[in-house]
Amino acid sequence: MDAFYASVEARDDPALNGKPLIIGSLPHERGVVATCSYEARRYGVHSAMNIKEAWRLCPNGIYMHPNFDKYRAVSQRLRGIWSGYATALETVALDEAYLDVTQKAGSWENACAFALEIKRRTLEELRLTCSVGVAYSKTAAKTASEENKPDGYFEIRTPRDLISLIIDRDVGVLYTVGAKTKEKLKRAGILTVRDIHERPGDVVRLLGRQGEWITRVAFGEDDRAVMPFRPEDAKSVSRELTFQKDVDDNGFLKDVLLLLSLSVERRAARYGLYGEGVTLKVTYGDMKSLTRSRMVPSTRSAAVIWQETGRLLDALPQRPIRLIGAGLHYLGGENGRQVSFDDILPENTVLRDRAVLEGLDGMKARYGLDFKGNLDRIFHGETLYKTVEYMRKHR
């Protein structure tokens, strides 16, 4: 999709059309740009940019928080369109996916017709534009989809066609070559795809297995299948929050961890997942990040996540914290899950649930908010952020 969040907002509010629209944090807040309109990109603004830098480049832009509930609803409709053409659909994000249309299309010409049909239906049914690449592989399709943005369409039929297109481009055009990898290659004098063709051994010696992959892609090789997302394949479920001012009050941080733990529990339950590891993540005011984990019997209980992340927090140096997060890892489904004490002694679960309810009651007394009656609303992205900021200011 083209500048997805910004395009959805401009679609729903015509006054935003043609304006430099920046979705993410607001200029006076901490945070980054989630996405921005093409008008904002002309000022040099781009996704993941620090919001203060975006403000410096584009002080006359329109800044908005993202509305993820709205974007998820649109994404569901998009997947309804995409799925009709594909035997396998691999979503990359709310606004992007790989579609394997080989069997349904039966020919290159029909695949191209599918792509144009998807573009037409997206515009007619959702009043949004997308850019579609038709190609022989995932890497080539991704490259093709970026070629004529916005509202683009491009075909790459063969490895030779891909090589011809990218041979003299920066190495960053290749899948998995991010900023750090690009810098390593640059220091070795490898700046373009042509350099990789001429020095494949140097790339492999420099980057190991990643170098082998990058070299293959540079020569147009990519046999990865389109893999539909399965919840049981997820490696972790987590939720994190950035504070507008650093916090060094562990009592308050544990209150935030309770809300994050409840959110993680809900996400895990939505996919029928349990975890055997609990994770705490913190980023201090000096931007140093720490992640700590603890093994637990198979669970998705918010009480367990809260209890264990609280213990992990107590073991960390107490310094002002900028970001905190809670998560579950070593995930698996119900089948094959090891029986825990909660299964054998269900009163354990009752006691833990009681601890969560008592925790929420204590937070109500401290902050004057009805957490138990508003959890469904609180867990929405912006509402959770606003709730925690209110708690921080009124603790």
Distance CA 180, CA 51 (A): 22
Is residue 182 within 8 A of residue 169, CB to CB? The reply is no
**CA distance linking residue 114 with residue 136, whole number of Å:** 15
**Complete DSSP assignment for 199-236:** -HHHHHHHHTHHHHHHHHHHTT---PPP----GGG-SE
Exposed/middle/buried for residue 190 (C-beta within 10 Å: 0-12, 13-18, 19+): buried
DSSP 369: -
Terminal-residue alpha carbon distance, the chain: 42
Ramachandran category for residue 291: left, alpha or beta (phi over 0 → left; psi -120 to 50 → alpha): beta
Q: Tell me which residue has tokens 């491009």.
A: 154
Q: Where in the chain does DSSP place strands (E)? A: 21-24, 33-36, 62-64, 88-93, 96-100, 132-135, 153-156, 236-247, 274-284, 289-299, 321-332
Residues 220, 51: Cα–Cα separation, whole Å: 37
Q: Which residues are catalytic?
A: 96
- What is the spatial distance between Cα 19 and Cα 284, in angstroms, rounded to a whole number? 36
Q: Which residues neighbour 84 within 8 Å (Cβ) at sequence distance 6 or greater?
A: none
The three-class DSSP label of residue 170 is strand
H-helix or E-strand spanning residue 248: none
Contact in structure between 320 and 245 (CB atoms under 8 Å): no
Report how far residue 63's alpha carbon sits from residue 169's, in angstroms, rounded to the nearest whole number.
33
| Rounded CA separation 33/121 (Å) | 29
Q: Residue 116 is inside which H or E element, if any? A: helix 108-126
